[in-house]
Amino acid sequence: MYSRFAYQATHIIILLLISLQIMAAPPRHVVENPNIKMVVIPRTAEQMAAFYEGREFPAKAIDATRDACFFTIGIHNKTQNILWLNTDNWSITTKTGSMSLLSREHWIQRWKKLNLQQRFQSTFRWTLLPNTLDFQVDEREGGNITLPRTNTPFTLTARFATGQDKNGEPINITFKDLRCAEDTPQ
Amino acid sequence: MKKILIFLLFFSVSLSVMADAPKGIIKVSPRIAPPLSLMNMDGEQFTLSTNKQRWHFVHFWASWCGPCRREMPTIQRLINGMEKDNIGFVIVNTAESEDVIFSFLGGVAPDINTLLDTDGLATELWKPRGLPSTYLVDPDGQIQYVVIGGQDWHKSQYQDFLRQLSTRNK
């Protein structure tokens, strides 16, 4: 009798934990077609703080990351040729205008002002999506993009050139109604 | 009969030399490998340019990168399986502290002795596409192949390919 109760209780606890995990998981925005798969995952300030704390970043640097909105981007080139990433060809638009991604240069200057050790600057750079990359056939790469923290929903349009000499049919991917991820109030 | 055998032998050797690289390994226009001179976890200095007698498998990684974590045990198995082959394995950690590296490798690949790119500047010179990144450098110090993303290095096709390379000059 007791073991049957324990069995049922264990099931309920497992289901509860799974539900909580699903609720806590950040939303994933995915666009996939025969040529490309692109994933956008909004990251909360706490998620990013936890990540960089785990890499031993000093508090001043972690505070600086809280001013920005982070999205993890994953890109898979499914074409049979080169897919050209150049984030200069991406646009972010809101109902009232446009926004720009925070550039690598922005972060370099920010870290300089904070006298952040070189190793942390290096790690931070590696966690960012490259500005440009020639994705080879079947290559998957990813990284974070950052923009100034905002409450406004926006549309991200990512444009990719294709083909050896960038003369192939361009690929445009649009993610509508993206929002900076907010931490759940405690 | 002897001539036929010699021809067949030559033909099979040629075929094996020309075998395509396995998935993920891409032949590139040869270019001189950037400088690489770093300490390993035992405090020993390694300099790539003074190790020119053989091919080198140069791998950049960090413990925070998911594919690196998945790939590292397969690299250890690859190294263990190629102890007798003439190829050098150069594993470079990018900008992490020794504590982080020790605790990570101790759990997944305790036999690997990584070089410590403490400030990340050596990695910057090599300009990897991302992490993990692997380069195959010939005995003349030229990058001949780059490897895209993480691979199952312990699989026979990768070992066979590297074994072939280790017998070639270029």
Residues 54-113 of chain A with CB under 8 A from chain B are 54-56
pLDDT digits (tens, 9 = 90+) for A85-126: 999 999 999 999 999 999 999 999 999 999 999 999 999 999
Q: What residues have CB less than 8 Å from B27, skipping those under 6 apart?
A: B21, B144, B145
User: Is residue B104 a part of any domain in this protein?
Assistant: yes
CB of A139 within 8 Å of a chain B CB? The answer is: yes
User: Is residue B12 a part of any domain in this protein?
Assistant: no
CATH of the domain at B31: 3.40.30.10
Residue A1 has pLDDT above 50, yes or no: no
pLDDT given for residue B46 in this prediction: 96
pLDDT given for residue A3 in this prediction: 54
Give the model's confidence band at A158: pLDDT under 50 very low, under 70 low, under 90 confident, else very high: very high
Q: For the sheet with B142-147, list strands across it.
A: B25-32, B142-147, B133-137, B55-61, B87-94, B115-117
Task: State mean pLDDT over A76-82.
Answer: 96
User: Is residue A153 a part of any domain in this protein?
Assistant: yes
User: Is residue A137 a part of any domain in this protein?
Assistant: yes
Give the model's confidence band at B12: pLDDT under 50 very low, under 70 low, under 90 confident, else very high: very low
**Helix A118-127, helix A104-113: angle, nearest 10:** 160
Assembly ipTM: 0.80
User: Is residue B40 a part of any domain in this protein?
Assistant: yes
pLDDT given for residue A25 in this prediction: 60
User: Is residue A51 a part of any domain in this protein?
Assistant: yes
Nearest-CB residue to A143 (from B121, B124, B130)? B130
Residue B16 has pLDDT above 70, yes or no: no
- Residue-range definition of the domain harbouring residue A103: 27-178
User: Is residue A148 a part of any domain in this protein?
Assistant: yes
User: Is residue A167 a part of any domain in this protein?
Assistant: yes
User: Is residue A7 a part of any domain in this protein?
Assistant: no
User: Is residue A2 a part of any domain in this protein?
Assistant: no
How far does the CA of residue A156 sit from the closest CA of chain B (Å)? 23
Give the model's confidence band at B53: pLDDT under 50 very low, under 70 low, under 90 confident, else very high: confident
- Residue-range definition of the domain harbouring residue B156: 22-166
Domain total of chain B: 1
Domain total of chain A: 1
CATH of the domain at A96: 2.60.40
How far does the CA of residue B92 sit from the closest CA of chain A (Å)? 14
Give the model's confidence band at B37: pLDDT under 50 very low, under 70 low, under 90 confident, else very high: very high
Contact A126 B120 (CB under 8 A): yes
User: Is residue A80 a part of any domain in this protein?
Assistant: yes
Task: State mean pLDDT over B87-95.
Answer: 96
Contact A178, A155 (CB under 8 A): yes
Name the residue in chain A with its Cα closest to that of B131: A126
How far does the CA of residue A57 sit from the closest CA of chain B (Å)? 11
pLDDT given for residue B14 in this prediction: 43
Task: State mean pLDDT over A119-146.
Answer: 96
